Amino acid sequence: MNRCSKATLAIISLFISSSIYAQTPAPNPMLVEAGKRLFNSFCIYCHGIDGSGTNAPAADLSGVPTGDLSNKAYMSLLTDEEIINRVAYGEEMYPYLQMPGWRSNLNSEKIIAIVAYVRTLAIDQGPLNGPTPAERLERFKNNPLERGRIYFLRYCSGCHGKKGDGKGWMAAKALSKPVAIGSPKIAPTLTFDKVKSYVTNINRWDKSYMPVFSEEEILPKLPDIIAYIKTLPEQYSDK
């Protein structure tokens, strides 16, 4: 091997070893135990003690169902690097997950430890009954209604309810009753300009306690959200 090839290999090796999310070493008991402690501090509230998300106190907080980390058929389709990125970057890299990224709270060693522990939670539940990770991403990228559904659940369902009936989990705590935006009377009347002027209006606090969203955050998502809301009358019920 010539000197140039050796130098090139040395540079590649240095790059790989210096990348904080390059790879996960083979788990060991100490690493798994450290990951368990971190999981119980940062992840258990949404994913639950067994990783399934069942009965976790914050599992439904974003409206988007929490991922089942105990499903071996699903988890086996994810590489360690993909799980590391999900923990580190969350919805910034995987918007359909609607979960926070933890890289500002957890360094690479701690994230790797969490992944090592998460791998121990997966149990055989039979064939995968649902979309694969790749299918979920593809559906989010190419289907406006799927994007609208995710964004609606994330931004609206807490107050307005998953069916748009005004019965979200925060509705009982709201100072004024959330509008049933999914009703057959309201959903068809929604336009981009009408919704934009309302959700970004900082001068409406005397009329509504609904949060005001920045244009930068919400406007790119608004057409998909409105399109999804217009499908809600099909499943609407105010009973």
**Is residue 8 in some structural domain?**
no
Choosing from 83, 115, 137, the residue where a domain stops is: 137
Q: Give the chain's largest Cα–Cα span.
A: 77
pLDDT, tens only, 161-213: 999 999 988 887 777 788 999 999 999 999 999 999 999 998 876 777 788 99
Rounded Cα distance, 133 and 166, in Å:
31
Rounded Cα distance, 122 and 120, in Å:
6
Amino acid (one-letter) located at 12: I
pLDDT at 208: 74
Rounded Cα distance, 127 and 83, in Å:
20
φ and ψ at residue 167, rounded to 5 degrees:
-120, 45
Of 114-118, 149-153, 169-173, the range with the lowest mean pLDDT is 169-173
Pair 129, 149 in one domain: no
**Is residue 5 in some structural domain?**
no
Pair 131, 39 in one domain: yes
Pair 31, 124 in one domain: yes
The domain that holds 74 is classified in CATH as 1.10.760.10
First vs last Cα of the chain: how many Å apart?
Answer: 76
232 CB-contact burial (10 Å; exposed 0-12 / middle 13-18 / buried 19+): buried
Pair 100, 152 in one domain: no
**Is residue 54 in some structural domain?**
yes
pLDDT at 194: 94
Pair 162, 185 in one domain: yes
Contact between 51 and 70 under an 8 Å Cβ cutoff? The reply is yes
Q: Is the pLDDT of residue 41 over 70?
A: yes
The domain that holds 172 is classified in CATH as 1.10.760
Cα–chain center distance at 174: 24
What is the span of the domain harbouring residue 185?
144-235
**Is residue 29 in some structural domain?**
yes
Pair 157, 224 in one domain: yes
pLDDT at 237: 56
**Is residue 175 in some structural domain?**
yes
Of 23-32, 60-69, 111-120, the range with the lowest mean pLDDT is 23-32
Residue 54's alpha-carbon distances to 45, 47, 51, 88, in angstroms, are 10, 7, 8, 23
Q: How confident is the model at residue 236 (pLDDT cuts 50, 70, 90)?
A: low
Task: Express as a percent the part of the chain with pLDDT over 70.
Answer: 85
Contacts of 159 (CB under 8 A, 6+ apart): 166, 168, 170, 171, 174, 178, 210
